[in-house]
Structure 1
Amino acid sequence: MCEQAPEAAVRTAELEATVHAGGFWRLVPECVPRMYDPVTTELMERVLHGLRRVAE
């Protein structure tokens, strides 16, 4: 796994704070569970990999 640049670490922290504050829940139906895995570098890499795969 590669190390995050300081800017990426800041963006990750900001995203995590937004998620913990409930910033995205207004965008999803009530049936979607509100529990989620902690935001980690590994999770962010998996999400990025999935998004790149979908974009191809």
Structure 2
Amino acid sequence: MSEDAVSEENSGHLGRWLSLIALALMAAVVGRQIAINSADKQFEARLAELDANRD
């Protein structure tokens, strides 16, 4: 193998790893946002129930 082919292979490998890392970070952010939205809905439902019971 020539040096250029090895260098190109290494840069391709690095690019794949960076893509996978970026994808994992995006999935973590989306998952966190879904969890926060779900918790907000549950909190608002409990708050509405407490307000209804207070009257």
Larger RCO (alpha carbons 8 Å, 6+ apart) = 1
What is the TM-score when the length of structure 1 is the normalising length? 0.34
Pick the structure with more helix per residue: 2
TM-score (normalised: structure 2): 0.34
Larger radius of gyration: 2
